Amino acid sequence: MTKRTYWERNTATDGYLLRRDVSRVLGNIFMVILLFGLCFLVLQPLFHQFSNTIMSRDDLFDPTVLAIPRFPTLDHFRLGLELMDYWQSLWRTLAITFSMSLLQVAACTLVAYGFARFDFPLKRFWFVCVMITILIPPHILRSAMFINFRFFELFGIIPLFTGGSVNLLDTLQGYTLLSVTAMGLRNGLYIFILRQYFRNMPKELEEAAWVDGCGKLRTFIQIMLPDAVPVLMSCFLFAFVWQWTDGFYSSMFLRSFGVMAEQIAGLGDYFAFWYIVSIGAAEGGLSLAPIALVEVMISVGVLLGIAPIIVVYLFAQRYFVESIGQSGIKM
């Protein structure tokens, strides 16, 4: 067969070939524009915040400066680092968040394995309870939670030993208790994902281990866990990132620890206070911080605060996105 040119082939197909290729190219161009626009939509606020934070005071009040500062400065960041007590807070938050996430994922894995692989009475009931913890997050029960932890009695067991209730608010013990009992932030979701994962693993593995005389706990640790490392990693990363920004448990248990979530939320007010005390007083009398500056400082707080988790996200992006895919959520 002789080789025909594109146009010959086009006429042979009655113009179908050209129409197909043109519509394909147009479709691709449309896709590129659309995806670019949508990505820009998500990223623009970050760019905007960043460009604002490196503007000097003159740039901020100059209406001709939009995105690129004329006199870039790192003063706002320096002030932010100081007011947030950044490095101290960073290490403390890293330590607390890391250990709590580890505890939570460990507890969730045990529970999920129990749900996935054993038959026991009331199993459905307890799983409904897991769903309840997903559907009713603790934020709503704020008032009862507050009382519960302020006057912690554990069904009247604790007063038997100490003669009174214990105040668990603003203590690490309270948070640890929640973590080891798989009741931390969104732990119901991790139980759900992990259970789904364990259910899809072949049963033959465990049966072989059982025939060889391996106990249940050992089967779990030596045979099931090594295979589950990627999904465990995903859950750990979710726990880490969400706890990093969480304001609810932070304000309940970690208020005096100065964790990052509290610092991010507080920087605007710290700055306003600092301004009144140092600059306002120097200019004589009470003068409030300009709104534009407060806004910039809030952006500084957000950027500094999320910088560590953005780094984590960039390196471990795969784990975040693929975890839910692996588990195959269905209802």
Partner 1 sequence: MKLTMRGKNAIAGYLFIAPFVLGFLAFMAYPLYQNIRMAFSTVTVDFANDEFSMVWAGLANIQRALLVDNDFTQYLVAELISMGLLVLPVLIFSLFIAVLLNKTFPGRGFVRAVFFLPVILASGVLVGIETNNSLLSLVSEQIQNANTMRSSVTGVIESILVAEFGAGIGEGFIEYILAVVNQIYTIAMASGIQIVIFLAGLQTINPSIYEASSIEGATGWENFWKITFPMISPMILVVVIYSIVDFMNRTDGEIMEMIDIVVNRWREFGFGSAIAMIYFTVIALVLAIVGFLISRLVYYYD
Is there binding between residue 80 and partner 1 (CB under 8 A)? no
> Between residue 296 and residue 315, which ones bind partner 1 under the rule CB under 8 A?
298, 301-302, 305-306, 309-310, 313-314
- Cβ distance to partner 1 smaller for residue 70 or 173: 173
Residues 242-271 that bind partner 1 (CB under 8 A): 242, 244-248, 250, 261-262, 264-265, 268-269
The SS3 call for residue 166 is strand
Distance CA 115, CA 122 (A): 11
Minimum CB separation of residue 54 from partner 1 in Å reads 19
Q: Which stretch binds partner 1 (CB under 8 A): 1-9, 28-36, 80-88, 223-231?
A: 28-36
What is the nearest approach in angstroms of partner 1 to the Cβ of residue 43?
Answer: 6
By CB under 8 A, the residues from 180 to 209 that bind partner 1 are: 180-183, 191
C-alpha span between 139 and 123 (Å, rounded): 27
Residues making up the chain, counted from first to last: 331
Closer to partner 1 at the Cβ: 15 or 70? 15
Which residue's CB is nearer to partner 1, number 118 or number 161? Answer: 118
- Count residues near partner 1 (CB under 8 A): 97
Q: Is 294 in the site for partner 1 (CB under 8 A)?
A: yes
- Pick from 203, 206, 202: which is nearest to 223 by CA? 206
The answer to whether residue 230 forms part of the interface with partner 1 (CB under 8 A) is no
Tokens standing for 178? 């929640």
Amino acid at 213: G
Q: Which two tokens stand for residue 259?
A: 């964790």
Q: Could you tell me if residue 164 is left (phi over 0), alpha (psi between -120 and 50 degrees) or otherwise beta?
A: beta
- The rounded distance, in Å, linking the Cα atoms of 241 and 291 is 30
Q: Which stretch binds partner 1 (CB under 8 A): 6-14, 66-74, 278-286, 320-328?
A: 320-328
| Shortest Å distance, C-beta 5 to partner 1 | 27
Nearer to partner 1, 135 or 211 (CB): 135
**Is 140 one of the binding residues for partner 1 (CB under 8 A)?**
yes
Nearer to partner 1, 8 or 207 (CB): 207
Q: What distance in Å separates the CA atoms of residue 272 and residue 260, rounded to the nearest whole number? A: 19
Give the type of residue at 316: A
Within 13 Å and on the Cβ side, how many CA atoms surround 173? 7
Among 54, 83, 193, 241, binds partner 1 (CB under 8 A): 241
103 phi, psi to nearest 5 deg: -60, -45
How many Å apart are CA 249 and CA 329, to the nearest integer?
27
- Burial label, 91 (beta-carbon count in 10 A; 0-12, 13-18, 19+): exposed
CB of 142 to partner 1, least distance (A): 5
- Binds partner 1 (CB under 8 A): choice among 134, 201, 223, 233: 134
Per CB under 8 A, contacts with partner 1 among 39-78 are 39, 41-43, 45-46
